[in-house]
Each structure stands twice: as C-alpha cells, then as structure tokens.
Structure 1
C-alpha cells in the first residue's frame, strides 16, 4: 500500500518502494495519490518503467539516430530520410518536450505545422512514421511505458492511379530509344518491373542464364555525391525474379556488346561486374535513365511518362493477362500484397471482372 502522509500544502504523498527503489506520488486527495502509486506499480509489473524519462525528445532522437536507426536493417536511403525528418521537423517543433510529458496534442501540433507549410500528405505521413518508430524504440529502451503516436490517427495519403503505357505507347517509346545507349535498361525494366536502382545494381554474377532467373541484392543510388549499391528497400525486395525468353536474349545481347566495350577500354575498364555499365565499366548514374526516358517520351509524343511508369506498365500488363496478384506483388518486391492491391486496384477490378466472365463461360452459365 505504501505510507500516506498529508503535506503542509494540504496535498497527500504516498511513499512506495517499487523494485527496490523508493518513489513518491502526490495528489490533491488521498485517492489521487494512491491511484498514481497503484498505476506505477502496475507499470512495473508489466515490465514498463515506473516513470517515463524526463529527458527531452530531441535528446532521445539524437541518440536514436546514432544507435537504433543506424543499426537497423533499413536501406541507407531510408535511414537518411528518417534522420532528415527528425532534424527538419520533429526536433524544431516538439523536440523541447520531455518524453514524460509528450502528448497527443504535441504530435498534432507537429502535423499542423506541416499542414500550414503546405507539406504533402505523403511527407506528413513519413514524418509521423519516423516519430512512431523512434518512440517505439524509446518504449523498448525503457524510457516510455507507451507510445503516444499510437493514439493518433496515421495521416492518410490519397493514392493516385499509376500511370502505365498502352501497348501502342510502349512500341512508340521503345522505337524512340533505339539510338540511346541505355535502351536495353528501358526494355529490361519494362520486361521485369524492377526499380531503376535495382536494374542498375544487377551484376552478371547475379544472373543465372541456365535457369532463366536473376537475384536482386541491392539498389544503386547516389549518396554524398557517389554512386553506391545500398541494401534493398525491404526484405521482400531481396528476391529472385524469373526472366522471360526475351529478357534472357536481351541480357545475352547486352553481355556481347559489353564484352566488345571491355576489350576496347582495356586497362581502363572498371571491374564492377555491372550488367548495365558505362563505356568503361563503371556504374550508370540513375539520372541518365531518367533523362533517356524523358527524351524518348518527348520524341514519341508521350506525356507524364517517368521511369516508374515502366514498372507500372509491367505490373498492369501482368495483371490484365491473368498473372496472380500475389505473383505480381512478389515480382515487384512489395512489402505486402496490400500495397500491390492499393496501387493497382483499378487493374485488379478489371482482371476480376474478366475472370468472372471466363469462369461463367467455362461452366456454361
């Protein structure tokens, strides 16, 4: 129960020893003081800290960036993104609040500031996710009993239907890329649905011609001015994809062309083993692929076409031609099938209607 004492200011104090340490709980009434002491005891029994830490949120985030975040298996680009949200938004807005006093209103205040400054839904959601992950780790580290972000509704994001190319548009785009060095990269992304960085990180040692498949181990990105292969976005992104006969032929053609360039470059050739490389064997800047798509799209008279449109085109064609949603999701490297369903909802609806008609016909209904 603990020892109850009335103070000179007419408040009450309950003194209780919890896990070998003495704590004092104050209240305007005896019931309030005892309730606080009981709550602390319940927290200790549940394995939570008796009291939340009084250190500021900014102090914890600085440590979190250097420890939990740095040691996580997230991609380097994701770690950089989370650290950026901490330094740009969270710390300047609510960083001075002690962890023990962090409330739902503080989290709402952060979101309201971002709204006031015109930040997009996706940006606000990413910032919320950063704070949620940091505070989850604070709970794990015994600094908080509960994460207040879980009492705040996650900011919604309006999903726009993915832009994909019709068959005639694909034909026009590919015709416009024939004179470009990286036309094979464009074709490969269209034929596999890979992300740009994944295609550019592919090495010959990852390609299995005999079994017509390729292993994806990383993504090529530019970080601190240098091109590096970082870890894949998620565990689902680390995958093996099947290669169609046309993609196998494309890679064989690419290998033959590269062998000629390697012979011409001689000792200047960079021994990186990249499937798609510069004329001297070095990694290809992802921006060059973006420029190739933009130039080719303009020449073909197409609008709103990006490198990601190629990935969407692959997924759309697969779904409309009866490939199971789970298979498409796996090929794309999505973290969950729900992401695929959300992104290609309009396509799966069409595929479902087509499937229903086929079943009815097969059953003679």
Structure 2
C-alpha cells in the first residue's frame, strides 16, 4: 500500500492507493485539509500504518452534539432515572451549548480546558459541578473510543478546579485605583473599568452594545455576551435581563469611549463593521476573550500591582462593595447570580469581618445618638 501528497487549491491532501476493484478500476482514499505540505507528510506514515493494522478510523462529520444525543438515549437503560435527569440537564445547559458544534473527531484537550475555565470564571459553577460535567464528557468520549468512533479519549488526564475553600484574589481600593489610573489613556480602558465598577463578566463586557445603555437613567442592560464561539444571548434561566446601575464616573468614561468609537468609524469609512459594540477594534469588529486576556496581562506587566486574573476584577467589585457594607442581596443582583446562596458561597468568608465592622458602626450610631439626645434635653 502506497500513499503520496497532492496539492488541491491552497491546501494539501494525502492520497492512499488501495489497489483495484473487481472491475480493475483504481481505488484511492483521500485525506484532505492540510494547510502545509510537511503536516501531510508527517501524517502519511501514521495513516498507512493504521490502514495496514486495521486500526484506522474513518473520519466522520458527526458533531459532538449529535453523538451526545445518541449517547444519552442509550444510557436510559444503564443508569438510574435521577442520574439520567442530572446528565440530561448538564448536557442541555452546559456541554452541548458550548461544545456541541465541534465535530466529534476534532474535539481536543484545548477545547475542554477552555470550556472548564469558562464554567469556572464566567458561569461561576462550583468546582464540584465542573467535576461532574467533566465526568460526563469523559464517560461519553470513553464510549466513543470503545465504539471505534475516535482513536483516544481527549478528556483523560485533564485537571478540573480543585474542590475546597475558594481562594479569591482581589485588589484593595488603592491597588484597584493604581491599576485604573495607569491604563486610563488606553483606547480600551473602558473594557477594564466596567468589570471593576459593575461586576460584569468578561463576555458581558465584550458583548455590551450602545443600545443597551441608557445614559439618562444611568443604567445598562446585559443583553448578550461574547464567547470564544461568538455572540450568544445573555438570557438567564429565569429569562430575565440583568439591569445594572451606573455611577457618574462610569457614565463619563462611557461617553469618552463613544467619542473614540465615532472617530474610529469616521476614519475607517466603508471598512468599518458596525456591530454597535462598546468594546471593539478600531474597525468595529468584536474583541474575543483570548485577545482581551492578552491585553489584560500586557497591562499587568507594566503596572505595579499584585497579579490577579481578569475575572478577579469582578470579584474585586463584589468584595469592596461588601466590605463597604452594601447588602449581600444588592451585590448578588449586580453580579447576576441566580440566588443569594451563590453569592454567599463565593464571598461568605468576608461576612465575619463585615459583621464586626457593622456592629461597631451600629453601636457607635446608636449610643452617640442617645448621647446627643440626652445633651439636647439638658
């Protein structure tokens, strides 16, 4: 059995000769889609060996979504009804929306790592929930290997967030202001001001449109997000859109940003791609999470503050509000948590110190007012 490389347009293909059929017609198998010739040359020996050994798996166009839907149907007779309900919920709410569009054979470890990171940072799922989701993905891919649909289980060996007390790294007020003041002249300053002052998630900031901001009422509505796969609706499980009140400084910064966008649009002319985005490139195109993170870490290299994740700007916002005595329910609503319990699980460690400060303030106000009243009565 022989094989060779052939160029097709701008790409390369592996062509394997399989001999001739019963009519004497030459049989060939094509493996297309290689961007570089050397990549095809590197893959050729493996394909020939797998065909000779009988271990070659025919590439499939089946998506992960299609496979998972068949997989869960087959699981009905193998697992308990309660477990099946849990699996189905995890598939519908998290796994399929994020990974379902990827072809089963193309799914890789990077896809899964980014998925788990998104669940932790943007969805704010507990480590135990992410581990359960990972177990479902690993089990499904294990069955796909046994059924001969893929060569290996890419979920094996991937580490998920450790279950244990959450250790959130945040800045204090001075550190936050040092950072914000240091990057203030950057055209994309607003992209980092917003999570610090509103508690918005990264995807929510990147998906924010001008039409979602009411400058007169000083509020914004979280209507859409941007993920690694593009735009998605920001609708929550209760179908409510989150509204966030804005302070005067943030309103001022948004107006500054609007002027920058208007200038970019004028300069680009017909080349401008108008998505109505607050955070975008000079040509109006969306900025995706990976590039946003890159910008963040470039800033951190230049500013003398402790290194934290960009998602920790959201945690910083929540922490500073709680330490200033803002009710947990108000903070929970700003963050868009489904329940106050989620907020308490994340920031509950702050409550003892908050209570100490609160009782000091309560006592001070109570007894000072009594002294003033007694003094006035004399």
SS in 2 for 1:90: helix
Provide the aligned length of Structure 1 versus Structure 2: 255
Match of 1:317 in 2: 320
Which is further off, 246-255 or 289-298?
289-298
Match of 2:241 in 1: 238
Match of 2:64 in 1: none
Per-residue Cα deviation, 1:48-96 (whole angstroms, up to 9, x for no partner): xxxxxxx7418999x99xx988876999338786998477412355799
Match of 1:279 in 2: 282
Matched, 1:348 2:369: no
SS in 1 for 2:167: coil
CA distance in 1, matches of 2:226, 2:234: 9
Measured after TM superposition, the shift of residue 242 of structure 1 is: 0.5
Match of 2:210 in 1: 204
Match of 1:228 in 2: 231
CA distance in 1, matches of 2:77, 2:187: 50
CA distance in 2, matches of 1:237, 1:304: 34
Matched, 1:120 2:169: no
C-alpha spacing 1:258/1:94, structure 2 compared with 1 (3 Å): closer
Match of 2:138 in 1: 89
Matched, 1:181 2:187: yes
CA distance in 1, matches of 2:167, 2:263: 42
Per-residue Cα deviation, 1:95-133 (whole angstroms, up to 9, x for no partner): 99xxxxxxxxxxxxxxxxx9x9474356xxxxxxxxxxx
Match of 2:267 in 1: 264
**Do 1:75 and 1:230's aligned partners in 2 also have CA atoms closer than 8 Å?**
no
C-alpha spacing 1:118/1:257, structure 2 compared with 1 (3 Å): closer
Match of 2:75 in 1: 57
Matched, 1:217 2:217: no
Matched, 1:294 2:281: no
CA distance in 1, matches of 2:281, 2:78: 44
SS in 2 for 1:270: coil
Which is further off, 229-238 or 281-290?
229-238
Per-residue Cα deviation, 1:253-282 (whole angstroms, up to 9, x for no partner): 111111111111111111211111110111
C-alpha spacing 1:229/1:60, structure 2 compared with 1 (3 Å): farther
Matched, 1:76 2:62: no
Measured after TM superposition, the shift of residue 251 of structure 1 is: 0.9
**Do 2:272 and 2:283's aligned partners in 1 also have CA atoms closer than 8 Å?**
yes
CA distance in 2, matches of 1:214, 1:334: 17
Measured after TM superposition, the shift of residue 212 of structure 1 is: 0.5
Match of 2:38 in 1: none
CA-atom RMSD in angstroms: 3.7
SS in 2 for 1:344: helix
Q: Structure 2 regions of 5+ residues with no counterpart?
A: 1-72, 102-114, 116-129, 146-154, 369-378
- State which of 357, 360, 364 in structure 1 corresponds to 2:363: 360
**Do 2:200 and 2:314's aligned partners in 1 also have CA atoms closer than 8 Å?**
yes
CA distance in 1, matches of 2:99, 2:240: 14
CA distance in 2, matches of 1:300, 1:197: 24
Match of 1:307 in 2: 310
Measured after TM superposition, the shift of residue 178 of structure 1 is: 3.3
C-alpha spacing 1:315/1:118, structure 2 compared with 1 (3 Å): same
SS in 1 for 2:255: helix
Match of 1:10 in 2: none
Structure ranking higher on relative contact order (CA contacts 8 Å, 6+ apart):
1
Measured after TM superposition, the shift of residue 177 of structure 1 is: 1.9
